């Protein structure tokens, strides 16, 4: 759940989430623009008990917002969570390529 779309995020935090996912090679995901539906915007905040947008869900489970996803990216947890979903992070391949040099 974000402001805007992956092709055109409408806030810096939504853009950061999109960029983090792109770094990991995650392209196939659903995004919902909460600016198009005020009820959805408030409803998702109530559902997750999280006050801000964007909100990231992996396999239907709430993970957090931009700050949490950034922290997971920085400490390597996101690679592990993606692996659980059967997604190999593109960063692993980039590291492998660096090691060959």
Cβ atoms of 58 and 85 closer than 8 Å: yes
Least Cα distance to 69 among 3, 11, 8, 18 occurs for: 18
Task: Output the pTM of the full model.
Answer: 0.88
Residue 11 among known ligand-binding residues: yes
Cα separation, 74 vs 92, in Å, equals 13
Distance CA 87, CA 60 (A): 15
Answer yes or no: CATH 3.40.30.10 is held by domain 4-99: yes
Confidence of residue 98 (pLDDT cuts 50, 70, 90): low
Per-domain residue ranges of the chain: 4-99
The pLDDT confidence band at residue 12, using thresholds 50, 70 and 90, is very high
Token pair of 73 as six digits: 């990216």
Q: Which two tokens stand for residue 55?
A: 């909100």
Tens digit of each residue's pLDDT (9 = 90 or more) over 34-83: 999 999 999 999 999 999 999 999 999 999 999 999 999 999 999 999 99
What rounded mean pLDDT belongs to the chain? Answer: 93
């Amino acid at each position: 759940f974000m402001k805007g779309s992956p092709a055109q995020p409408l806030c810096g935090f939504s853009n950061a989430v999109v960029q983090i996912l792109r770094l990991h090679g995650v392209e196939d995901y659903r995004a919902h623009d909460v600016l198009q539906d005020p009820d959805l915007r408030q409803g998702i905040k109530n559902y997750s008990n999280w006050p801000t947008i964007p909100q990231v869900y992996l396999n239907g489970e709430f993970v957090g917002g931009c700050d949490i996803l950034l922290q997971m990216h920085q400490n390597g947890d996101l690679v592990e969570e993606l692996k659980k979903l059967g997604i190999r992070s593109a960063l692993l391949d980039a590291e492998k390529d660096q090691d060959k040099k």
